[in-house]
Amino acid sequence: MKIVLQKVSKADIDVVDETSGDIDQSFKPQHIDTGYVLLVGVSDEDGQEQIDWLASKIAKLRVFEDENGKMNLSLDQVGGEILSVSQFTLFGDVRRGNRPSFVNAGKPEHAKRIWLELNQALRDQGITVKEGRFGSHMRISLTNDGPITILFDTDDLMSKHC
């Protein structure tokens, strides 16, 4: 799994009707104030071990400032929320040519299940998680705070963890 985590002071997401370009009224727009936007890419090799590891790391990540201005507080300590967006394009391979190949991205059924299970694992840690809509065209606006952006790649991290 690949996750781009951005610490935000606010974020919004709307789903776009791809035929008209208008906001899809059937999707309730999502909004968070302090927290993280997670862009989540899933491969077919991802499973429960990756979900558990990432949920724990993200929940305990200390990138919010304490009273001394040090990055020492976690999401739950500041009352933050997560806006989670499935994004297969994180697996875009551009080593050859100029058009990305997405062959390493997870099959849609598997990717959706893993993404939803990751979101639930974060909720199980007491975090409010709001979601985009899997497989849809979305517009995301955010204010990156810091800026703080962290990349999680379970291919790299799990090998060091084990």
Q: Does residue 152 have an active-site annotation? A: no
Residue 105 confidence (pLDDT): 94
The CATH H-level superfamily of 2-157 is: D-tyrosyl-tRNA(Tyr) deacylase (3.50.80.10)
Strands 81-86 and 35-41: parallel
Residue 154 designated active-site: no
Which of 6, 30, 87, 154 is catalytic? The answer is 87
CA distances from 93 to 1, 6, 96, 104, 155 (A): 15, 22, 8, 8, 15
Instruction: Tell me the pLDDT tens digit for each residue of 76-133.
Output: 999 999 999 999 999 999 999 899 999 999 999 999 999 999 999 999 999 999 999 9
* pLDDT digits 0-9 by tens, 23-48: 888 888 899 999 999 999 999 999 99
| Catalytic position from the list 64, 88, 91, 152 | 88
User: Taking the model in full, what pTM does it have?
Assistant: 0.91
Q: How far apart are CA 52 and CA 36, in angstroms?
A: 18
Residue 158 has pLDDT above 70, yes or no: no
Task: Clarify whether 120 is annotated catalytic.
Answer: no
Catalytic residue among 48, 77, 89, 120: 89
